Amino acid sequence: MKISPERMRRAFGFIPTASFADGVCHLIGGFGNCGVVETDEGLVIFDITNKALGPKIFRDLREVTDKPVRYIIYSHGHFDHCFGFAPFIKEIKEKGWDMPEVIAHENCVKRFEKYRMLDKYHIWLNQQQFASLKSPLEVSAHETLDPTIIIRGNEEYTFKFGGFAFEIYSEWGETDDALWLWLPEKKVIFAGDLMVSHFPNVGNPYKVQRYPKHWALAMERMMEKNAEYLAPGHGELIEGKEKVKEVLSITAEAMNFVHDEVVKRLNEGKWFEQIFHEMVEIFPDKLRNSPYLLPMYGCYEFAIHAVYRLYHGWYDTGNPTDLFPAKSADIAKEFLKVADGAQFLEQAKKTVEQGKLQLALHLLDVILNGTESENALLLETLKLKSKVLKQKADIETSFIATNIINNGALALKPKIKDLKNKLKSQNP
Ligand SMILES: [Zn+2]
């Protein structure tokens, strides 16, 4: 089931501003949501989106209130949550207001340092992960609005402001620097990316380790609050006690399921391939069909990787052949001595006709990895691989997976063009 572009846009945060909890709270959509608590003494802001959309959320905020920003809380240190600060700071300076307190977890500060160290790498990998977005994301952490109040370990931090209590909790989940905000008087949770109303982004193929079991525990702690409103990090506000409970509980159930079932299989002495394919087989319909767990960004399959990787080393096949493997080009050349490229291509075509697209890719890669000079064969192979990738992308729902597949197809284009030119000059 392909997810509609409109649903994707809303899920990413392109939503109209919602005012709720007697008009005290607002949720403003940017690439990441900006949560606002409006008090008589000023505003508490929960996340300020990315650099490009900072001006957008600032304009939208100023349409609903002109009060000064007194606190900014970072749900976590990702680029879509704490880099849109420039217009806020500009206004504070122009009006001569006091600078706000900025609250973040200690691991958020470490994250900013890591981003600076891996600057070029992060630009490169985010360009791949978000390749289908029209405007490239700015992911530099050289300019940050640094926290003035730092929460350490699993500390809770509470403060009173403008007649309201603010309770901030530390968690691990999508990241190890996650904070969520509970506003007891209004029964509101601002969840950051611990809640995105689709399958949690755990096991992202490009990113560092994430934490499914901790994620489930965070959902369970949120459930204890019996909240009336749940403001997610991306996508629309979730309203009503029953619905809030439902979405938290199904997310916890999914995270517990994938964690506990992988752990069970690790204890049975199974290797990754067996665990992965068994897990795909046993994915319960209740989770597969939940409207709150659509595989729009991350997906169940990625989550299996996350759990395995959490507890296991990189040697994941149990086959010593894979301990010090030869180059794939050398392996392919040996295969092509047994059966030539034309035979592999013929077999790949048959598997495509049978709808076995993944197997076709493995066959085509033998030709592509092991062939250097047969231009006509290479051209036909590349064209078929490109077609198969497009077919796979058409049925894929995860934004990240679709981008990876499409990037692969795109990378074949110049090679195809080059081969066509070579063949033309050989046979003018
Ligand atoms: Zn986010």
SS (H, E, C) 181-206: EEEHHHCEEEEECCCCCCCCCCCCCC
Nearest to 17 by CA among 31, 39, 35: 35
What separation in Å is there between the alpha carbon of 152 and the centre of ligand 1?
Answer: 21
Statement: residue 2 has pLDDT above 80:
no
Q: What is the DSSP string of 209-266?
A: ---HHHHHHHHHHHHTT--SEEEESSS--EESHHHHHHHHHHHHHHHHHHHHHHHHHH
- CA dihedral over 37, 42, 45, 48, signed as positive or negative: positive
What separation in Å is there between the alpha carbon of 81 and the centre of ligand 1?
Answer: 6
In the 8-state DSSP scheme, what is residue 137? P
Query: What percent of the chain shows pLDDT beyond 90?
Result: 87
Statement: residue 127 has pLDDT above 90:
no
Instruction: Give the CA dihedral 142, 147, 151, 157, nearest 10 degrees.
Output: -150
What separation in Å is there between the alpha carbon of 71 and the centre of ligand 1?
Answer: 20
pLDDT on residue 139:
74
pLDDT on residue 369:
97
Residue type, 225: K
CB-based contacts of 114, cutoff 8 Å, min separation 6: none
In the 8-state DSSP scheme, what is residue 20? E
Nearest to 216 by CA among 230, 202, 227: 202
Condensed to tens digits (0 to 9), the pLDDT of residues 164-204 reads 999 999 999 999 999 999 999 999 999 999 999 899 999 88
Instruction: Give dist(CA 161, CA 183) in Å, integer.
Output: 11
| Structure tokens belonging to residue 95 | 């009006």
With beta carbons less than 8 A apart as the criterion, state whether 72 and 85 touch: yes
User: β-pairing, 101-105 with 149-151?
Assistant: parallel
What separation in Å is there between the alpha carbon of 164 and the centre of ligand 1?
Answer: 26
What separation in Å is there between the alpha carbon of 409 and the centre of ligand 1?
Answer: 27
What separation in Å is there between the alpha carbon of 13 and the centre of ligand 1?
Answer: 9
CB-based contacts of 12, cutoff 8 Å, min separation 6: 31, 234, 235
- Mean local confidence (pLDDT), 249-265: 98
Instruction: Give dist(CA 228, CA 42) in Å, integer.
Output: 23
Condensed to tens digits (0 to 9), the pLDDT of residues 206-239 reads 988 899 999 999 999 999 999 999 999 999 999 9
Residue with tokens 């809030």: 244
Give the N- to C-terminal CA distance of the chain in Å, as an integer.
Answer: 46
What separation in Å is there between the alpha carbon of 51 and the centre of ligand 1?
Answer: 13
131 vs 372, more confident = 372
What separation in Å is there between the alpha carbon of 208 and the centre of ligand 1?
Answer: 15
What separation in Å is there between the alpha carbon of 147 and the centre of ligand 1?
Answer: 19
In the 8-state DSSP scheme, what is residue 100? P
The pLDDT mean for the chain works out to 95
Instruction: Give dist(CA 350, CA 382) in Å, integer.
Output: 16
What separation in Å is there between the alpha carbon of 32 and the centre of ligand 1?
Answer: 5
What separation in Å is there between the alpha carbon of 201 and the centre of ligand 1?
Answer: 9
What separation in Å is there between the alpha carbon of 33 and the centre of ligand 1?
Answer: 8
Instruction: Give dist(CA 157, CA 95) in Å, integer.
Output: 29
What separation in Å is there between the alpha carbon of 48 and the centre of ligand 1?
Answer: 11
What separation in Å is there between the alpha carbon of 195 and the centre of ligand 1?
Answer: 10
Condensed to tens digits (0 to 9), the pLDDT of residues 82-120 reads 999 999 999 999 999 999 999 999 999 999 999 999 999
Instruction: Give dist(CA 297, CA 11) in Å, integer.
Output: 9
Instruction: Give dist(CA 229, CA 195) in Å, integer.
Output: 12
What separation in Å is there between the alpha carbon of 171 and the centre of ligand 1?
Answer: 15
Statement: residue 136 has pLDDT above 80:
no
User: β-pairing, 164-171 with 188-192?
Assistant: unpaired
What separation in Å is there between the alpha carbon of 107 and the centre of ligand 1?
Answer: 16
CB-based contacts of 83, cutoff 8 Å, min separation 6: 48, 49, 50, 51, 54, 138, 141, 143, 144
Condensed to tens digits (0 to 9), the pLDDT of residues 348-402 reads 999 999 999 999 999 999 999 999 989 999 999 999 999 999 999 999 999 999 9
Nearest to 250 by CA among 220, 295, 280, 282: 220
What separation in Å is there between the alpha carbon of 282 and the centre of ligand 1?
Answer: 29
What separation in Å is there between the alpha carbon of 50 and the centre of ligand 1?
Answer: 9
